[in-house]
Amino acid sequence: MLTELESLSQNIGKLIAISQRHNEARAALEEQLAHSRAEVETTRAELAQLRAERDALQAERDTLSAKIDDAQVRLNAILEKLPRARASSEPDNQLDLLESAQPAGDEAESDVSRHGENA
């Protein structure tokens, strides 16, 4: 009977040791779970912030796109108000000015071209 009591005592000691190890493991796992939950909450908060930033950037993009469209409409209206280019058969006023200035400028131009040839 004494041996049975010693055997029971040893078995109870083993069970207590096993129970303590399980409790320690459970406590460690609960701590890891709490840490993981905190990380999840941090990640969710960061995700919410990134979504808000994305939405703000999309709104800014849409606003800029609308401004560009508006500016393009205004530019087209301005371009329509400008005088149209003359047909190719009509001389352009600027070309008339160049043609009238050529006889006096031919001498200077020939001097410049000769100077370039002599160099």
Spell out the domain ranges in the chain: 1-81
What does the pLDDT average to over 5-29? 96
At residue 60, the pLDDT reads 98
| CB of 86 closer than 8 Å to CB of 92 | yes
- pLDDT for residue 73 is more than 90: yes
Q: How much is the pLDDT for 87? A: 56
pLDDT over 70 at 112, yes or no: no
Contacts of 92 (CB under 8 A, 6+ apart): 86
What pLDDT score does 119 carry?
43
